[in-house]
């Protein structure tokens, strides 16, 4: 059996590509609606969608996709020296809650802060002048002083009795 040769394979590839690209169509309507709401809120507040913010963080430029429709470039250089996505982890962390604003410790300690880590270097003490003591084991000491150690006596376990509940009616006649 031989397969017919296609003069133009583009339609077949197009159909296969379209079928494979519909894998995300199974997303629930609620998730899609929440995504549109988040993008709309972000667009109203900052003139950028969530994807635009991500592209701006990665490219270190000011990017917005809607500029294409106005004939501009998607990304342009930022105005000023400040990077809005740069976080100073050495500053106290501000948390807004129902009971007001609270400040927590910084995520990273300052370079001159005291050591607060689990590294061995942070807990080194000054070397002592006394010689190290010989290691002592409890089994070796017990054997040398008291002779052989006797096994503990076994205790007898009390038998467990099942608690029978009284019947609520007459017993069934035996056969």
What is the structure's pLDDT at 159? Answer: 62
Beta bridge partners of 82: none
State mean pLDDT over 37-62.
Answer: 92
Cβ(50)–Cβ(38) below 8 Å: yes
Cβ(64)–Cβ(76) below 8 Å: no
Q: What is the DSSP letter of 85?
A: T
Q: What is the DSSP letter of 167?
A: P
Q: 35 versus 87: which is more confidently predicted?
A: 35
Q: 98 versus 117: which is more confidently predicted?
A: 98
Cβ(93)–Cβ(107) below 8 Å: yes
State mean pLDDT over 107-132.
Answer: 64
Give the number of other Cβ atoms within 10 Å of residue 62's Cβ: 18
Is 60 exceeded by the pLDDT of residue 64? yes
CA dist 90 and 112 (Å) reads 11
- pTM attached to this predicted model: 0.42
CA dist 102 and 95 (Å) reads 5
Q: 124 versus 91: which is more confidently predicted?
A: 91
Length of the chain, in residues: 175
């Amino acid at each position: 059996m031989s397969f017919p040769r296609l003069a133009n394979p583009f339609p077949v590839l197009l159909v296969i590509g379209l079928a494979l690209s519909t894998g995300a169509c199974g997303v629930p309507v609620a998730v899609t609606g929440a995504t549109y709401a988040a993008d709309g809120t972000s667009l109203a507040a900052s003139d950028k969608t969530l994807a635009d913010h991500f592209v701006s963080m990665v490219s270190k430029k000011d990017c917005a996709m809607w500029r294409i429709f106005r004939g501009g470039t998607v990304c342009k250089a930022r105005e000023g020296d400040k990077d809005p996505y740069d976080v100073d982890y050495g500053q106290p962390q501000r948390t807004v809650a129902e009971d007001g604003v609270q400040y927590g410790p910084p995520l990273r300690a300052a370079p001159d802060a005291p050591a607060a880590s689990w590294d061995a270097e942070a807990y080194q003490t000054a070397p002592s002048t006394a010689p190290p003591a010989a290691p002592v084991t409890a089994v070796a000491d017990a054997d040398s002083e008291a002779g052989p150690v006797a096994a503990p006596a076994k205790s007898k376990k009390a038998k467990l009795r099942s608690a029978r509940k009284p019947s609520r009616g007459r017993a069934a006649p035996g056969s």
